[in-house]
Amino acid sequence: MYGDQPVSEQALAETALEKLPPEAVVVGDGNFGIFAFAYATHQSGRPVILRLTQSRARKILGCEMREGAERNVVWQASQWDRKAHPQLPEGASLEGRVIVCRNPSRPEEVLYLFTTLDLAAEEIVGIYRLRWNVETDLRSLKRTVGLHQLSGKSVDMVEKELLLAVAAYNLVRTVMCLAARRANVTPRQLSFSFVQAVVEAALPGLDHAATEEEYQRRMDRMLRYAAQGKLPRRTRDRSYPREVWGRGGHFPNRKRTVESREQM
């Protein structure tokens, strides 16, 4: 991002497309709701569900659409798209649908979704809603596991740091799945940070288990404790809104005076 050869998130995502299973559905927020990424995904043979900005949706549709409406469209590359992405062929276009609906998580917000899937609008919205799980997973990786800022100074050390952190994350998620199965709940009903603390406390005992029976007994105890970390079910909205902290004030630049120049 800050180097002499910066790469955008969309370009990085395009390189990862071929690593996805052939039957995967690519779901992206407004940052990925651009023609170049949608076209690259379609060329890879995978369907998409992408969120569009209101202005981009209006440009594709040629008019305003009311909530609850959907329309078949042909999304064509604009002059700006071809200039920013010269690899696009002349006359590049993409057939799909634009769906306008309320955000299930934020009823006051309207969603504009573009998709190449031939499914009912309710199913499209349901699939897009699952994208939020990715956001919470990234939050857990960055904040709880500690990948918000890497400490490695070389490529090898950064790679090791990433691999170990992701392995630790997958270990906690595995314990969450096993504990949730025992408690007859879904894994995402358990607190990631709570289960991580349980795993960290239980690992030394598991390593020093003398017999298979002792290991299994300690494993059962770990899963029993992990199953107790259920997230609270909110019966009402937050008492405070989600807001972003401001960047703070900026002091004006001090101007040199005649006296200050003489003192120098």
Domain boundaries, the chain: 9-129, 135-226
Task: Give the pLDDT of residue 82.
Answer: 87
Mean pLDDT is lowest, of 132-146, 162-176, 189-203, 232-246, for: 232-246
Residue from 104, 128, 106, 105 nearest 117 by CA: 128
Chain-wide mean pLDDT for the chain? 87
Residue 107 has pLDDT above 80, yes or no: no
Is the sign of the CA dihedral 78, 79, 80, 81 positive or negative? positive
pLDDT band at 264 (very low <50, low <70, confident <90, very high): low
Query: What are residue 73's DSSP bridge partners?
Result: 96
Residue from 191, 194, 137 nearest 169 by CA: 137
Task: Give the pLDDT of residue 84.
Answer: 86
Arithmetic mean of pLDDT, 78-105:
88
Residue 170 has pLDDT above 80, yes or no: yes
Residue 105 has pLDDT above 90, yes or no: no
Arithmetic mean of pLDDT, 61-67:
81
Residue 262 has pLDDT above 60, yes or no: no
Mean pLDDT is lowest, of 94-103, 160-169, 239-248, for: 239-248
- Residue-wise pLDDT for 191-201, tens only, equals 999 999 999 99
Task: Give the pLDDT of residue 179.
Answer: 96
- Residue-wise pLDDT for 124-161, tens only, equals 999 999 888 888 898 899 988 888 888 888 999 999 99
Arithmetic mean of pLDDT, 3-11:
84
Residue 211 has pLDDT above 90, yes or no: yes
Task: Give the pLDDT of residue 103.
Answer: 81
Residue 10 has pLDDT above 70, yes or no: yes
pLDDT band at 120 (very low <50, low <70, confident <90, very high): very high
Question: How far apart are alpha carbons 258 and 264 in whole angstroms?
Answer: 10
Q: Which of 228-237's residues contact partners 24+ apart within 8 Å by CB, and which partners? A: 228/194, 229/190, 229/191, 229/194, 229/195, 229/198, 230/183, 230/185, 230/189, 230/190, 230/191, 231/189, 231/190, 231/191
